[in-house]
Amino acid sequence: MAYANTRCTTRRALMTQPPEAAPAPRKSDLIPRLITALVGIPILLAILFLAPSWAFAAVVAFAVAASAWEYVSITSAPQPARGPQVVVTALAVATSAVMLLTSSPEQGIDGTILALTLAGATVLIFWTYLATFKDVTRVSGHIGAGATSLVYCAVMPTFLALLHRDAGDDGPWWVILSFAIVWGSDTGAYFAGRAFGKHKLAPRVSPKKTVEGAVGGLIASIVAVVVFKFTALPNLQLWHIFALAIPANILGQSGDLAESVIKRAHDVKDSGTIIYGHGGMLDRIDAVIFAVPWIYAFFRFLY
């Protein structure tokens, strides 16, 4: 009898407990993304077409420093790098980017200066970790990440500023074309993946990406170059369209996956929060980082 009373009491207690609150719906990031685009795109266009060339170079220098900050922060998780380590790496990356922009025959400086800058930046990163590290089992990984950022976050994306500078009056259009190839691919992949996606592209890295989406992204990149041929860059020839778009698209999509694998390795969702509604700087330019060196090489040697 006592057991029955206890059971009834327990049942009544369970019945009178308030139901579990439903999980709060995830807040849509569409509005923040639209706000950022409406504000950021006109500013970027004004810098590209109206401001002196050094203004866009300054934007790129800021972007590479922010990217390095995020990259070092991600790769040092779950024991984040401390202030001096991140700051020194970001400054070393920004300095390397500036030296790349000034290492040209037009500026009277050859590539040796850039090489010396990269060497000095590498030594500085080693010194910083030597003076500040606490966990000797992880310090080599931190140093490696800092040294990698000199190429990944400084040299590779800075080709965007070189493209703007070296293409003369067409420089702004080449920069916009670079973004169109990459971000057009993102859009094409998204819609193609939703409509036709069945076969996973890289399930261990990015489970939502599909082979069908990747093909849709490739087609979108080709269409973007076609549009520019008949509008802003009429000197592009038919074979240029494919020689430019296909490698740039493949590189861009692999750049996206490359950042994804780094974030997944360290259990990080976004590289940062610097861009309202879009996450971090690396989240926005990861594909550009891989694609723009080819676009610059195409412009210099094939166009």
Taking each helix axis from N to C end, the angle separating 281-301 and 238-265, rounded to the nearest 10 degrees, works out to 150
- Kindly list the distances between the CA atom of residue 192 and the CA atoms of 178, 187, 200, 213, 214, in Å, as whole numbers in the listed order: 21, 9, 13, 5, 8
Provide the residue-wise pLDDT of the chain in tens; the chain has 303 residues.
444 444 444 444 444 444 444 334 344 566 877 787 788 889 999 999 999 989 999 999 999 999 999 999 998 876 666 788 889 999 999 999 988 888 765 555 567 888 889 999 999 999 999 998 888 888 898 899 999 999 999 999 999 999 999 999 999 999 999 999 999 999 999 999 999 999 999 999 999 999 999 999 999 999 999 999 999 999 999 999 999 999 999 999 999 999 999 999 988 888 988 877 678 999 999 999 999 999 999 999 999
Task: Please report the pLDDT score of residue 19 as a whole number.
Answer: 45
- Token pair for 88: 């020194």
Instruction: Give dist(CA 223, CA 180) in Å, integer.
Output: 10
What pLDDT does residue 25 have?
39
Q: Where are the alpha helices (DSSP H) in the chain?
A: 2-16, 30-49, 53-75, 83-102, 111-132, 139-149, 156-166, 171-196, 211-229, 238-265, 281-301
> Smallest Cα–Cα separation from 266: which of 74, 69, 79, 137?
74
In degrees and rounded to multiples of 5, residue 121 shows phi and psi of: -65, -40
Is the pTM of the predicted complex or chain greater than 0.75? yes
Q: For position 7, what pLDDT does the model report?
A: 46
Residue 51's pLDDT is what? 94
For residue 1, the model assigns a pLDDT of 46
296: amino acid identity, one letter: Y
- Give the residue extent of every domain in the chain: 52-166, 167-303
Q: Are 203 and 254 in contact (CB under 8 A)?
A: no
